[in-house]
Amino acid sequence: MRTVGASQPEETARAEEPGRPAEHGRAGGAAGVKTARGTRARGTRQAQALAVALDDLPGFCSAQEIHAALRSKGETVGLATVYRHLQALTEAGSIDTIRDVSGETLYRQCGTSVHHHHLTCRNCGRSVEVEGRAVEQWAEKVAAEAGFTDVGHTFELFGVCPQCAG
Amino acid sequence: MRTVGASQPEETARAEEPGRPAEHGRAGGAAGVKTARGTRARGTRQAQALAVALDDLPGFCSAQEIHAALRSKGETVGLATVYRHLQALTEAGSIDTIRDVSGETLYRQCGTSVHHHHLTCRNCGRSVEVEGRAVEQWAEKVAAEAGFTDVGHTFELFGVCPQCAG
DNA sequence: CCAAGATTGAGAATCATTATCATTACCAGT
DNA sequence: ACTGGTAATGATAATGATTCTCAATCTTGG
């Protein structure tokens, strides 16, 4: 498993507070930015918590890590819900996803919505966004030459960042 | 599941000799190109069959597909063995691997041992090897600028090939 | 022919991600 | 406030690819 900068107390107390009634469903006072159908971006307590968590995490991290981070902060969010929101956010273009070497999907909040790629530290997950106009163009050219259509690409850079190297 | 261009006759007519006792272990007369330890490239019946299968398949395909192809040809090779050889061959550099969109690993026999990338048809799996000197250099430059070291990259192009498009 | 070591393969074990589905919270009417 | 409708949640089961386990089997050297 990769390790991320954020602390991940492994012995997270599994037993919830005894008296606490099982919380469920949407949060109490959340404003609720309702989108058309199915996915409201951050109306619920869980969505809000996830957004905050993504803000805090420095680089790319897996859904499981995010879930663990939420847990360790005291938030109670189901793993399934984490995946759901992550997926929705990805589709909405609010966050970036990459695949690490083992095939795990890593997520990260992303500023720009324009297409770009990442140079990610394989140790701490921190990443730099790189704008790859050159690569895009090259890819299109190559594809066109081969007669391929409807071309997409995946491109990721992994390395060790200055901090982790030093 | 993806579909591969090559036909995969499900009920291949080739019923081997009826009396065939359950074969196990290494093949009878195989020459046996023994490598240092653990992995002999193609000494066994299973390894041989796998090599042939890889030769036949036109493009990238998953371990499971290769396993299925072997099955349908009448070869009896365990899935675990397929994975084992695929992994060994990959480490040896004899075959290429890429990750498709769903995270599955796809394998393909590869001619050159020099570093290159692929433009793969997401419909039939056929692929073209593209030499990406430009990309390599660009990647290195970007990485260096960001101060990252020990940089590697993944780069894949997916599209629809002329045949599948027409 | 025998012992030692390599290889195989069926099935169990992992592990990330999805699907289920009963429960719950929010919203708009009434 | 009460209520019905609907979206969201989360515990858990299911999926699916890949790896691990280990007894059975094969090959080879002597």
Question: Which whole number is the average pLDDT over B25-42?
Answer: 42
Give which of B104, B140, B154 to mutate to test A binding, by max A Cβ within 10 Å.
B154
Angstrom distance, B74 CA to C16 C1' = 33
d(CA A116, CA A156): 10
First to last CA, chain A: 22
Q: What pLDDT shows up at residue A141? A: 92
**Average pLDDT over chain B, rounded to whole?**
78
Mean pLDDT per 10-residue interval, chain A, length 166 residues: 41 36 42 39 83 90 95 94 95 90 90 83 88 87 94 90 91
Angle formed at CA A81 by CA A76 and CA A86, multiple of 5 degrees:
120
Return phi, psi of residue A152, to 5°: -125, 175
3-class DSSP assignment, residue A95? strand
Contact list, A146 vs chain B (CB under 8 Å): 119, 128, 130, 161
The helix/strand count (H/E) of chain A reads as 5, 6
Q: What is the DSSP string of B85-114?
A: HHHHHHHHTSEEEEE-TTS-EEEEE-S--S
d(CA A43, CA B2): 37
Greatest C-alpha distance within chain B: 67
Interface contacts (A, B; CB < 8 Å)? 104
Residues in chain A: 166
Q: Inform me whether the pLDDT recorded for B32 exceeds 50.
A: no
Contact list, A150 vs chain B (CB under 8 Å): 159-160, 165
Q: What pLDDT shows up at residue A42? A: 58
Q: Which residues pair with A108 in a beta bridge?
A: A96
A43-49 long-range Cβ contacts below 8 angstroms, 24+ apart: A46/A75, A46/A77, A46/A78, A46/A81, A46/A85, A47/A85, A49/A73, A49/A75, A49/A77
Residue ranges near strand D (C-beta within 7 Å): A 23-26, 37-40, 43-47, 76-81, 84-85; B 1, 21, 23-28, 30, 32, 43, 62-64, 79-80, 83, 87, 104-105
Angle formed at CA A128 by CA A105 and CA A125, multiple of 5 degrees:
45
Residues B121, B77 contacting (CB under 8 angstroms) = no
CATH C-level class of B27-165: mainly alpha
Question: Which whole number is the average pLDDT over B120-139?
Answer: 87
Q: Where are the domains of chain B?
A: 27-165
pLDDT tens digits along B50-63:
999 999 988 899 99
Q: For residue A42, give the DSSP letter.
A: S
Q: Inform me whether the pLDDT recorded for B161 exceeds 50.
A: yes
d(CA B161, CA B134): 23
Angstrom distance, A7 CA to D13 C1' = 31
Angstrom distance, B158 CA to D7 C1' = 36
